[in-house]
Amino acid sequence: MTKPDTTELAHLARLARDGGLDLSQVSLRVKADLLLSAQQPPIDDLRAFAEMATALVPTIDEATALILARKLAGWRHTPPEVLAALRARGGEVLAEMVRHGLPLGTGEIEELAETGDDMLLAALASRPDLTSVATLMLVDRDLESLDLALIANIEAPLPRPAAAILIARARSRAAYQPGLLGRPDLSNLELAPLFLRAGPERRLTIIDSLSAYEALHPGERTLPLATTALVEWLDLASEDRSRAFEAIARFHGGDEAFARAMEDDAGRELAALSLVASGTTVEEATRFLIRLGDETARSVERIFALVALMRATRPVIARRLIQHIAGLTPAAAQRRGQHQPVMDPSGTPSRAGTGAARPDSQPAMSDVLGRVGLQRERG
């Protein structure tokens, strides 16, 4: 293709500016493509293009302006006056420029984060040069579309305060969870609240990280679960599932949201961890889970998977996990071990006794599993 004459292009641009000729939008796009294809475009060609573009950009249709915005915003040779003309159109054109690398200083990025509309903010959230201050401003908007864009933008590190907020929101917003778990800049400890949504390998690394943290910063030890509490929980599991979860939640200093999270977790992993964290044995916890009588209780595979999870998780680590998963505060954690019966009309808390024996009527694990047709693997 023969390169257009620079002088002719400049002349046509002047005619367009003076109203003597209506240059087609295609010509502008063709010239832009010719310049973009050159490794080092000639200065004269850039000047001619700048004169043409500044004359035409205010009047071209939106589709053409968007095409130019995407192509020219991040190109290092784009004349500043062309960027200014495109930017002056605002709206979706400006958003596309921001998304595709429009040069912006730190102050400009943070000003846009403070004053931009939803479309502009979504574009800003995808930039690799997003500042920590701008990220926090975007997170503060509490818009799911913005949060998801920030989570997906792995080129821009998440500052710790922003990550903590997004992970906390992810407890109730499932769409956030895969992206957060896939971010390379978040530690296993930070991702512990998403343990139930993590894959097998990530779960193991989270448990390992919590174990290492526990070794360096031992948590408070709590009294074992009282025998009366265990009996009550087992009875409630058969009679009133919701109240059973409420009783467990209260034991750990949790609220209705924690109880509801256990009830809504169809896989019963949160309940299993909560039982281990309370000091029940794996046999006792398994009996509770089977007594729930739900789909998981009737599944051989699910019961054995829960048994494996409980065996692999020490009580102290299970406690830390449920604190992360449920968002229990340190103040709430201090109330652990105080069982409040829901079946005793007197309302008198039943304290955990030292050396209290478990009910003699408890069947062995093989008996518990046998009730639903399970057999433990030998060896």
* 267 belongs to a structural domain: yes
Same domain assignment for residues 73 and 133: no
Same domain assignment for residues 86 and 125: no
pLDDT computed for residue 309 by the predictor: 94
Tens place of pLDDT for every residue, the chain, 379 residues? 344 455 555 555 565 556 544 456 778 888 899 999 998 999 999 999 999 999 999 989 899 999 999 999 999 999 999 999 999 999 999 999 999 999 999 999 999 999 999 999 999 999 999 999 999 999 999 999 999 999 999 999 999 999 999 999 999 899 999 999 999 999 999 999 999 999 989 999 999 999 999 999 887 777 778 889 899 999 999 999 999 999 999 999 998 999 999 999 999 999 999 999 999 999 999 999 999 999 999 999 999 999 999 999 999 999 999 999 988 864 444 444 444 454 443 343 333 333 334 443 334 445 545 544 444 433 3
* CA gap 98, 122 in Å, rounded: 10
Amino acid 21 reads L
Same domain assignment for residues 262 and 282: yes
pLDDT computed for residue 377 by the predictor: 39
Same domain assignment for residues 260 and 131: no
Q: Which domain holds residue 170?
A: 112-186
Same domain assignment for residues 41 and 119: no
**Cα–Cα nearest to 333, from 268, 270, 258, 264:** 258
What residues have CB less than 8 Å from 32, skipping those under 6 apart?
49, 53, 68, 71, 72
| pTM of the predicted protein model | 0.75
Same domain assignment for residues 158 and 139: yes
* 203 belongs to a structural domain: no
* 378 belongs to a structural domain: no
Residue 242 structure tokens: 């919701």
* CA gap 307, 365 in Å, rounded: 10
Q: Which of 85, 103, 121 is the last residue of a domain?
A: 103
* 344 belongs to a structural domain: yes
Same domain assignment for residues 238 and 182: no
Same domain assignment for residues 143 and 43: no
* CA gap 75, 53 in Å, rounded: 15
Same domain assignment for residues 242 and 144: no
* 213 belongs to a structural domain: no
* 194 belongs to a structural domain: no
Same domain assignment for residues 88 and 163: no
* 200 belongs to a structural domain: no
Same domain assignment for residues 92 and 118: no
For 30-69, the DSSP string reads HHHHHHHH-SS--HHHHHHHHHHHHHHTTTS-HHHHHHHH
How many domains, the chain?
3
CA contacts within 13 A on the Cβ side of 300: 8
pLDDT computed for residue 13 by the predictor: 57
Same domain assignment for residues 12 and 140: no
Q: Residue 280 burial by CB count (10 A; 0-12/13-18/19+): exposed, middle or buried?
A: buried
Q: Which of 103, 138, 160 is the last residue of a domain?
A: 103
* 21 belongs to a structural domain: yes
Q: Which of 155, 186, 217 is the last residue of a domain?
A: 186
